[in-house]
Amino acid sequence: MAQQTQNSSLIGANLSTDDPTALFALGTVASATDGCRYQYVLATSTLVTGALVLVTPAGTAELLLTAKLTANAKGYAIAAAQNIISQSQYGWVAEHGRNLYVLCTGTITAGSGDGAAFSANSGRLQNAPACGVGQTALGIFITTSASTATASVAIATLTWPRGVTPPIS
């Protein structure tokens, strides 16, 4: 992946580092190369490269767990960390664009018709048939294959990622 270059008018914005001090207001948006859009967040746990997160309206980034997908009804965004952001540190997560990292488990084939789904408790994607009902990931297109039993990073295009969960009865 080519390193994304911030092209907003945010002086001092570095999309690839974390910081213990807030340099921008939480929720600040930065545009970058490859049509990317990043949001400035506070990590509630350590986020590894490619980890999928839920971004709350308050600007905190929580590791995406499928049990939290109902939070999307509250307006939470789904984004991917593009570098390590330590717990209680501030940094940027990507919510839209091309050539972005996503963390995967198992085999996901580039452009596969099987689709991707959210792994139950890890902030990762996996092949949709391997997931439970209601964990389907929309808005994520894998452009390089990932194939390993442990976590691996794939390249993807993110188009406002979201989860599809069963309707609430």
User: Which of these, 40, 44, 64, lies nearest to 54 by C-alpha position?
Assistant: 64
Which residue shows structure tokens 């709350």? 56
What was the pLDDT predicted at 58? 92
- Chain centre to alpha carbon of residue 52: 3
Task: Compare 3 and 32 and report the one with higher pLDDT.
Answer: 32
The Cα 79–Cα 74 span in angstroms is 15
Task: Give pLDDT tens digits for 70-110.
Answer: 655 566 889 999 999 999 999 999 999 999 999 888 777 78
What is the model's pLDDT at position 130? Answer: 64
Q: What angle do CA 131, 136, 139 make, to 5 degrees?
A: 140
pLDDT tens digit sequence for 43-74: 999 999 999 999 998 999 999 877 776 655 56
Report the chain's mean pLDDT, rounded to a whole number.
82
